[in-house]
Structure formats: C-alpha cells, structure tokens
Structure 1
Amino acid sequence: MSAVDFHARLPPAAGARDDLLRVMDDLGIGRAAVSAGGLVDLDRLSELVGAGAGRSAHRGGRSAVRPVADNDFVLRNTHRSGGRLLPFFFADPATDVAAYAAEAPSYRGLEISPAVHGVRLDDPGVRALVATAEAARHPVYVVCLGRPGTRAADLVTLARAFPAVDFVFGHCGFTGLDVRGLATIAPQPNIVAETSGCFTAVARLALHRLGPDRVLFGTEYPLQHPRVELAKLAALDLAPAVLRKVTSENALRLLGEET
C-alpha cells in the first residue's frame, strides 16, 4: 500500500500541483491531504510561532494583518489530480465560518492555525468551525503553540467538547520536542499526532504514548521534503504492520478512504 501524506501544502503558484505530484511519484506516496500554503513568509511565520512562548505577536489575539488562504486554488488543483490530492479548508475563525459551512462538502478536512491567524482555541469562531467539521465528518488539523489558549491542554478541552471529531496534533507539537504535549493529549482518544518536523525520538515516543493507531505520517511539503520525513520513519525500524498504520491506514481511516 502506498503512503498517504496527511499534511502537505499547495502554495498559489503555477506548477505547484505538478511539482507535488512529481515528488509523490518519486517517493511512492499515493495520496496527500493538502491545505493552502504561502499565507505568510518564513520570517513572519518564525516570529508568529516564536511568540507562542512569550508575548503574543498579535493584537488582541488577532493578527494585525490578516493572511488569506487561497482555498479556491487548492480546490481547483485537487480536482485536477485524479483523486490523489485531498483538499483541506484552511479557515480563519474571524472571517471564514460562513464560507466553510457553505463549502464543507467540497473539502475533506479543516485546518485551524493559532499562529497564522492569532486565534485561541476557545474562540467562538473556532467552535463554530469545528461544529461544521463535525457535521461534515471532517478531521481537524491544529498546530498548538506555547501561549495560553493555544496549548496542547487547550486542544484537549476542545476535543472533549467535540468527542465525535478527530483532531490532529500537528507536528507532534510546536517545538519538535513537545513531549509534554504528547503526554497531555494521550488520555484524549479523539486526538492523533502527525509527525512532520518533530525529532525521531519524539515520533517514537508518540507511538509509545498514543499507540500505532493514533500516529500519522505527514510532511509539511514544500517546507520539508517528503524524503526527509520518510527517512525519519525508516530510522524507527517499525514492524511492517505498524508502519502501514502510520504511513497509510490511519490517514485513510480519518479521511473516510478505508477499503
């Protein structure tokens, strides 16, 4: 069974879809869940993520300049991928609640980013988006931060309020070494961890603490080359049955693609 990348991005650029499919072909990745990319440049993104451990880089919990995800670009390009690219709606809780509610049937999942949009996970807009995801049976991808309202514990609170929704703890936390975050989400069964960007030791610990049914392979392409993430899993020397769960079966289950 070919791998399923649970977290890649399509920046709004000519040839982005073909570039991603070419990389997937080279590495034996059959399908990928994709969100909009290119909302902020890397310097700004670094500032926003780094502010999670200290003073917020946002005003009043909201970004001073609102990045806009080109969800329409993602949808057009996934439709032209022969079913290999599965679109996620990248939502700004301040502006996209109605749009996601209207367009949810066209998508396969939802992404919410406290860093990009400066939102807390207890924001009413977040809850409204997740309620739509619940109705659409969409998984919800979230990258937690280190500031109040965006931590792993806040994701657990949200997941408890929506027990029928599958939440994805992006990158196994926001530092690459967020082992405390893994311990925090472990008792909450409707949260799974996605491994892009984390250390090998953290990926191994995710499997130990959550079990092989709650860990997902992802890449954060194009910021990370998928070859690197596949090498990380190979270094874990997992049993074939466990590797299949992590690289494909768990993703297919969450995406409703089980055969």
Structure 2
Amino acid sequence: MLELEHGFRVVDVHTRLDPDEEAVAVRGRQVSPERLEREMHQAGVERAAVSPGRTPRGEGYLRANNAVARLSVDRPLLPFARLGGPRRISRVVGPLVNPVKRAKSHHTTAGDVEQYAYDDRYHGFTLAPAHDGLPTAAVIDELAAVGDPVLVHAGENCPPRAVADTLLGRGFPVVLTSFGGYPLNENLMDAALSLLETHDDLYLDTAYVPDRDVLERGLLEHPDRILFGSGAPSVHPNVGVMEILTLDVSEDAMRRAFTKNPARVVPGLLPDR
C-alpha cells in the first residue's frame, strides 16, 4: 500500500498488539510489531498507544500486558495495560452495574495498577467491560490516584451512560472508543457527544466510525475532545487517517484531532518524548 502524503503530524490513541497466538484469542487481523510499525509509517502515524487484544475469559492480562510492554521498547508504541474485574455493566438504563462478585485470581487488583504505573512503564490503561468485566472499586480508586488516561471499549454492550456512571468524575481522563457507539450505533454516539457537554474528563476516539456526519459534528461541536484512533490492525491506519482527511472541517480541527488533543491526554505522544 502506498504511503499517504499529508502535512499533519499524526498520533494514534487506539491500536492493538497481540503478543502471540497462545496468549490471545485473536479477533480480526493479527500483525507483528514490525508490521504494525510499517503500516503506521505508511499512514504517516508517528506514534501510537497500543494495548493487548482480548484473552479468553478467566485468563487475565498480566502476561499479555508484560509482552506488549516488552515489544514496544525501541518502537514508536506506547503500551497501555489492559485490566479486568468481577463486575458487569448492564446494557439497560437503571442499575448499571450488577452486584459485585468476588474477585478471582485473574482479576486486576489495586496493587497491579500501582505496579503498572511504576516508573512510567505504561502510559495508560485499557478497559473492555463487556468482555473483561469492570474492575473493583479499589482498582478504580487506584486509577484515580495514578491519574493516567483510561481507554474504554464502549458500544452496545457497554453504553456511554454506564461508563459515565461508573468511571467519570474520578480525576483521570476517559477515552471512549468509537464515539461510544460501536458498531455504528448512532443513538449511542449521540449520547456520547451529549456527555461531552457535562464531563470535562471525557474524550472520544474515531476508531471504526465511518459516518462522516457524526465525525464532522464531533470535530465542529467539540474540537478539543476528539482524538484520532485508527483501530489498527483491525483497520489499516491508512483508512482511519483518510476518514479524517476527507471531512469537511478546517485544517485546525484535523490538527487538533491528529496531534494536539491526543498528546494532551497521553503526554507520551508528544514529539519530544
């Protein structure tokens, strides 16, 4: 695939790296760190936040997180540690989190979060509550103490309102993937955009959002809260970049989404890091 030519410095808040076939139940394309780096270069993406893909239920993420951190060394990749827990988010409005179940050995502990944050080895955290469960209150308290950004895989099985009620207002930035509406649920995307008006610590990434109207609305109404995310390797970074480049918005709005906003939320994406 030919390299894209554009005048923007692009950084990416949403990519996946599967360490090995035994550790991860692969969804979509599985690529090596070298190929991911090469595809980023083709799209003009200079740096990217990367977290492990899902493991089988009951396995946990300690091994996968350590592997991603190791594979990110000397590459333009910033590892995010993926977390899991015993609580489940409901898809319906009402009691959004089911009663707490007892944490098991594979669930993330507050000590795990403290260790992940030690010495800035990881630049943030990733949650996919619909698959991995929501961490305990003690873990969320530790996330608040650390203050690093948390990328949350949102969508039909983890609606934006549930995320707002469980994670927002705790002092750490929350990035909802896919405008909160994967797979292309415009009602959920509208809900996520509305939440931006009342939650200063909430951001949305652009991964898997092919709807031009929704993307343009986000960039025009909330230019400081939209972050570029490609969703690589499930989607080639070229595709994600082109979706932004073809929007009917100003270059300044694109520059904010590609560079300024992601680097403000994830300081490691700054060019001098």
TM-score range normalised by the length of the shorter chain? 0.7 to 0.9
State whether residues 108 and 255 of structure 1, in contact with CA within 8 Å, keep that contact through their aligned partners in structure 2. Answer: yes
What is the CA–CA distance in structure 2 between the aligned matches of 1:142 and 1:25, rounded to whole Å?
26
For structure 2, the 5+ residue unaligned runs are: 1-7, 22-30, 87-106
- Asked if residue 197 in structure 1 is aligned to residue 208 in structure 2, the reply is yes
Answer whether contact 2:49 2:79 (CA < 8 A) is retained. Answer: yes
* Residue pairs, 1:136-175, within 5 angstroms: 136-146=146-156, 150-162=158-170, 164-173=171-180, 174-175=182-183
In structure 1, the residue matched to 2:231 is 220
Shift of 1:28: 1.1
Match of 1:73 among 52, 67, 71: 67
Equivalent position SS for 1:212: coil
1:152 positional shift: 1.1
Counterpart in 1 of 2:5? none
Output the CA distance in 2 between the equivalents of 1:246 and 1:4: 9
Partner of 1:8: 15
Q: TM-score, normalised by structure 2?
A: 0.75
Q: Which residue of 2 aligns with 1:17?
A: 33
Q: How does 1:58-207 map to 2 (within 5 A)?
A: 65-69=57-61, 70-81=64-75, 84-94=76-86, 95-97=107-109, 98-105=111-118, 106-117=121-132, 119-120=133-134, 125-146=135-156, 150-162=158-170, 164-173=171-180, 174-176=182-184, 177=186, 178-186=188-196, 187-198=198-209, 199-207=211-219
Residue 238 of structure 1 aligns to which amino acid in structure 2?
V
Per-residue deviation, 1:225: 0.9
What stretches of structure 1 of length at least 5 have no aligned partner? Answer: 41-64
Q: TM-score, normalised by structure 1?
A: 0.79
Deviation at 1:159, TM superposition (A): 4.2
Q: Does residue 260 of structure 2 align to residue 249 of structure 1?
A: yes
Q: What letter matches 1:158 in structure 2?
A: T
Preserved contact between residue 11 and residue 46 of structure 2 (Cα < 8 Å)? yes
Which whole-Å deviations, capped at 9, do the CAs of 1:69-95 have from their partners, x for residues lacking one?
A: 3101100011231xx110100011241
Paired residue for 1:26? 42
* 1:224 to partner: Cα distance: 0.9
Q: Aligned letter for 2:12?
A: D
More helix by share: 1
